[in-house]
Structure 1
Amino acid sequence: MAFATIANMQKSQEKGVLLLEKALEMDKMEATFGFRGDSNISEESTTRGLSEIENGTKEPEDKVFTEVENEIAPPDGGWGWAVCFAAFMTNFTVSGIICSNGIVLLALIDLYNESVSKTSLVGAIISGASMFGGPFVLLLVLFKASHRQIMMVGGVVSAAAAVASTFAPNIETLIFTYGVLAGMSLAMNFFAANIILGFYFTKKRALALGIANSGSGSGNFLLSYLTERSISFYGIRGTFFLIGGLLLNLTVYGALCRPLKPISKQSSSSSENQQTSTHEKRNIAFKSEDGSKERQDKETASSCQSVNEGTDVQKIEKERVSVSQVLSLYCDKTIFKNKLFGLLAVIFLLWSVGDSMSIYLPAYADSVGLSRSEGALVISVVGFTSTISQIVVGFLADVVHIPISNLLCISLIGMVVTIASVPHCQSFAALAATAAAFSTSYNFGVALRIAMVAAVFGVENMSSGFSLISILMGIGYSVFPIGTGVVYDATRSFSIVFYAYSAIVSLAAILSFGLVYAQRKGQFVE
């Protein structure tokens, strides 16, 4: 009699568990798809189906849906090409404006009649901000800002800053409006556009990023000359107003970068897994005489709600992961323990002096008697060769299989020679040819930055390593132009400036032989 009673209790408990599972499954379907499924299934038919499975007269289904997951599926095309166009135009605008700093410098000296060192702060800060903007964008994303919002806000702020620069009464105001505000806003757009583009593609990601990055060279080639033409017709104040209109288009490009919506995906498991799960739930139910079954019901219902809607706990966990990721960009002990970190950091800090060349080449062209339009064409030549050189270095590294440390060393030696040759160029043809050779050598390093970081620190530490290197390069972009201005104000000679540049890069070239030795000895991670 006791055994019969226990058997009846077990059947009742199994029946209750089965009905609970069916109700929860209907709740899932209603929350996810808007309907509860077949609600006409009776209790008897459900019990009969279970008994048939247990007796072996009915085969269980091969697949059953157990949970709902939200995933972001890159379209690899479609609207992604609109985002690719937005990233191309963003790179075109941002890089073109930054590359025009040397042309703007001459106009600002004429307008405010300030020293070269003080006036160069405008271009130095806007160039440095291009490296400092990445971590700032990560922080905004941490606080739940979408890349679309970041780009649209950045476009509005940068346009307002450029228009405000039209009315700047002195160079100090211009440093804040055009240097700080516009610089940080441009960095927001630049990093956000290139990051969200990666989310839209997987198989075609390299193609999409290649198309987007070609916008930088195109912008350098066209906007430098157009900026000089605008200054000659409308003056620097009118040009700032036109630049503001150009930057306002960044808001439109940002609007194109709509966030990808997570897709509800039902993951399936085999009937064996479901049977195992059912037996586990039954075992839990047997222990529920003191009310533990009620707690189990609540926990199961809570888990279903967290799958469909997302609980606060999950959100907090995601935020904690994001915080740790942002902190790891600067505090990763693995990076600092690497013996080659200091060597690589110093090399790229010294290498960043090459960015000052684009600022002072137009001024040098003006000092040797060339017209300002010819000086702008020199910068256009630099922009045109930058795109080609990055393709060439990729071919040499991936197809010809030349070690990347060797390529970096060769590029630094090329920079030393070409920079030292600038003071001997007295004609447009000679200066344009030298600038093209310099741009080729310099942009070898641009293309090799991430590859070197990945090789030295490993792919898993690439984000942390490149963030630290970027900060150091940002410091170089900001400091070297100012130091150049101080030297020129003291000597009134660009020859000394370019010889000093050559000496700085020479030190980087000497240090790069250490990387060549380390790679030959197998000290690179990759």
Structure 2
Amino acid sequence: MFGGPLSSIALMLKASHRQIMMVGGLIAAASAIASSFAPNIETLIFTYGILVGGSLAVNYFAVNVTLGQYFLKKRALALGIATSGRGFGTFLLNYLSTKVISFYGMRGTFLILGGLFLNLTVYGALCRPLKPVIKQSPNISQNEQTSVNEMAGATNLGFEEEENKETRDEKCDDSNRRISEDIEPLPKVLRVRKSITSERVPSEIYNRKLGESFKLYVPLYAVSVGLSQEKGALIMSIHGIVGIVSVLLVGFMADIMHIPTSHLLMAASLSTSLGSILVPFCESIETLTLCAAINSIGTNFTISLRIVLISAILGRESIATAYGILSTLTGTLYIIYPSINGFVYEATQQFSVVFYFNAAITFLGSVLSCGIIYAQKTGKFVE
């Protein structure tokens, strides 16, 4: 999650999102392959923990920002489709990684991971910059319209233009001034609201970290109540399947049913909290699976909504900066929160207290999300 600021620095140095993704994929692949030759755990901490983790982090950030800038209409649905891979990964890798390790060993598994990471480079190569096209006005001649579209093509929108960089004649300035009144103004949603900060999306920070804690502690709790490790893994696989459906559902609800995303965010926070608070009352695989499903809906709703809300509140031009700040805050919790959960369990020796604590923190996120609902109702931002 600390990859957000790293990507922002790379963008400031005139690197494009496409270049960041391709280089990140190459570094991740090379580092995973190097991990297969690691002689000790200290080397793995560097090659896999830092190098692979860091390169995947900048890739993760660049992909999310790219999605937010590629789509103006139906953005929530597009992000839901794109992030559904997260659910597929949770579903498949629980079992696949175990099978691969048992058959190829740890060193062979690192080599296979290196090959998988190379696909990130291929994906980055496909993310070509898009040129916005300005609608033709009947009062503008074809030559003048071409000049305007060339100017629009020069607008970066977060992508570094990589092709046909030519200097333009100063004569275009006079022509552009004459036609400026005939060009339709940008929609209100694209205007940057400088008075509103990224602090208006607080529950994303809580939900993201709480989702990871849930996936860590539910299998342990399942074993503690007499279920097998295989059933604990099955519960988390179902958690992933529900996540696939959730990210698609939130896009449908936001873009097709036109439910305000601020309301969906509060509902997601409450769902995450409910899934955690019910776990201590469950002792069967059926009831724990239900809790996992409720938690997965809330967590994955939040993951899909963060870019949508950042874009709506601050404008598409500010996605990279705002998302970088949000990623930094989330990354900080990734460092702090596992220790807090561990301290809570060691102090009480009860998993139930850990889940109650997680539910309380997530509920706090739903309370803070009231600020987003208020801002939307008072017209501070529109979707």
TM-score, normalized by length of structure 2?
0.70
Q: Does 1:444 align with 2:301?
A: yes
Cross-structure match for 2:247: 390
- Within 2, Cα distance between the matches of 1:465 and 1:241? 35
Find the counterpart in structure 1 of residue 137 from structure 2: none
Alignment of 1:463-482 (within 5 A): 463-482=320-339
On the 8 A contact 1:166/1:240 being kept in 2, the answer is yes
CA distance in 2, matches of 1:365, 1:497: 14
Percent identical residues: 46
Amino acid in structure 1 at the alignment position of 2:380: F
Correspondence for 1:230: 100
Verify: 1:156 aligned to 2:13, yes or no: no
Aligned residues: 331
Partner in structure 2 of residue 70 of structure 1: none
1:480-505 Cα distance to aligned partner (Å, 9 max, x none): 22332343345443322222111111
Change (3 A) 1:235 1:502: farther
- 1:239 and 2:114 equivalent? no
Contact 1:352–1:476 (Cα < 8 Å) also in 2:
no
Matched residue type, 1:150: I
Among 196, 211, 216, the alignment partner of 2:86 is: 216
Name the SS for the 2:143 alignment partner.
strand
Matched, 1:418 2:287: no
Can you give the 5+ residue segments of structure 2 that lack an aligned partner in the other structure?
132-141, 146-163, 169-191
Report SS of the residue matched to 1:426.
Answer: coil
Q: Does residue 524 in structure 1 map to residue 380 in structure 2?
A: yes
Name the structure 2 match of 1:257: 126
Structure 1: gaps (5+ residues): 1-127, 271-306, 312-332
2:57 aligns with one of 171, 178, 187: 187
Give 1:438 deviation, angstroms. 0.8
On the 8 A contact 1:345/1:472 being kept in 2, the answer is no
For 1:180 and 1:498, the matched residues in 2 are separated by: 30
Q: Does structure 1 retain, via aligned residues, the 8 Å contact 2:26–2:121?
A: yes
Once the 2 structures are TM-superposed, how far is the Cα of residue 347 of structure 1 from its aligned partner? 3.1
Query: Within the alignment, does 1:409 sit opposite 2:266 as a pair?
Result: yes
Alpha-carbon deviation of 1:439?
A: 0.4
Take 1:508 and 1:207, find their aligned partners in 2: how far apart are those partners? 24
- Aligned 8 A contact 2:262 2:373 in 1: yes
Which amino acid in 1 is paired with 2:31? A
- 1:364-402, Cα deviation, whole Å (9 max, x unpaired): 334444333333322222222122112222333344443
What residue in structure 1 maps to residue 218 of structure 2? 361
Query: How far does residue 432 in structure 1 lie from its aligned partner after superposition?
Result: 1.9
Paired residues for 1:46-57 under 5 Å: none
Q: Is 1:268 matched with 2:143?
A: yes
1:359 CA drift (Å): 3.2
After the TM superposition, which of the residue ranges 230-239 and 351-360 deviates more from structure 2?
230-239
Residues 1:248 and 1:394: Cα distance change in structure 2 (over 3 Å): closer
Kindly state the Cα deviation for residue 227 of structure 1 after the two structures are TM-superposed.
1.5
How far apart are the structure 1 equivalents of 2:121 and 2:208? Answer: 30
Tell me by how many angstroms 1:413 deviates: 1.6
The answer to whether 1:435 aligns with 2:292 is: yes
How far the C-alpha of 1:136 sits from its partner, in A, is 2.4
Give the distance between the partners of 1:386 and 1:346, measured in 2 at CA. 21
8 A Cα contact 1:458 1:525, kept in partner: no
Please say if residues 203 and 269 of structure 2, whose CA atoms lie closer than 8 Å, have aligned partners that are also in contact.
Answer: no
CA spacing shift, 1:205–1:422, aligned 2, 3 Å? closer
Q: Any conservation in 2 of the 1:157–1:181 contact (CA below 8 Å)?
A: yes
1:499 matched to 2:356: yes
Report what 2:48 is aligned to. Answer: 178
Aligned 8 A contact 2:87 2:243 in 1: yes
CA 1:163–1:377: 2 relative to 1, 3 Å: farther
Residues 246-325 of structure 1: pairs in structure 2 closer than 5 A: 246-254=116-124, 256-257=125-126, 268-269=143-144, 309-310=166-167
Question: RMSD value over aligned CA atoms?
Answer: 3.9
Identify the residue that residue 231 of structure 2 maps to in structure 1. Answer: 374
Shift of 1:218: 2.2
User: How far is 1:440 from its partner?
Assistant: 0.7
Structure 1 CA distance for aligned equivalents of residues 23 and 376 of structure 2: 44
Residue 178 (structure 2) aligns with: none
Using the alignment, how far apart are the partners of 1:308 and 1:510 within structure 2? 49
Select which of 325, 329, 341 maps to 1:484.
341
Give, in whole Å, the separation in 1 of the partners of 2:66 and 2:306: 21
Which moved further from structure 2: 378-387 or 199-208?
199-208
Q: Indicate conservation of the 8 Å contact 1:352/1:477, yes or no.
A: no
Indicate if the aligned counterparts of 1:390 and 1:443 stay in contact, CA closer than 8 A.
Answer: yes
| CA 1:206–1:356: 2 relative to 1, 3 Å | closer
Q: Does 1:348 align with 2:223?
A: no
| Residues 244-278 of structure 1, C-alpha deviations (whole Å, 9 max, x = no match) | 33324434444x4375699xxxx8259xxxxxxxx
Relative distance call for 1:412 and 1:428 in structure 2 (3 A) is: same
Say if 1:148 and 1:258, in contact at 8 Å, map to a contact too.
yes
CA distance in 2, matches of 1:155, 1:375: 32
Task: State the SS of the aligned residue for 1:451.
Answer: helix
Distance change in 2, residues 1:233/1:486 (3 Å): farther
Change (3 A) 1:176 1:209: same
Question: In the superposition, relative to structure 1, how do residues 509 and 241 fare at CA in structure 2: closer, same or farther (>3 Å)?
Answer: same
Alpha-carbon shift at residue 160 of structure 1 (Å): 3.3
Q: Displacement of 1:472 after TM fit?
A: 1.7
- The superposition leaves residues 158-203 of structure 1 with CA deviations (integer Å, 9 ceiling, x where unpaired) of 2333344445566554333322211111123334456667888899
The higher relative CO (CA closer than 8 Å, separation ≥ 6) is in 2
Please tell me whether the aligned partners of residues 28 and 52 of structure 2 are also in contact (alpha carbons under 8 angstroms).
yes
| Distance 1:217-1:308 versus aligned 2 partners, 3 A rule | closer
Deviation at 1:516, TM superposition (A): 3.4
What is the alpha-carbon distance in structure 1 between the residues aligned to residue 320 and residue 5 of structure 2? 11
- The aligned residue for residue 511 of structure 1 is 368
Provide the secondary structure at the position in 2 that maps to 1:268: helix
Q: In structure 1, what is the equivalent of residue 172 of structure 2?
A: none
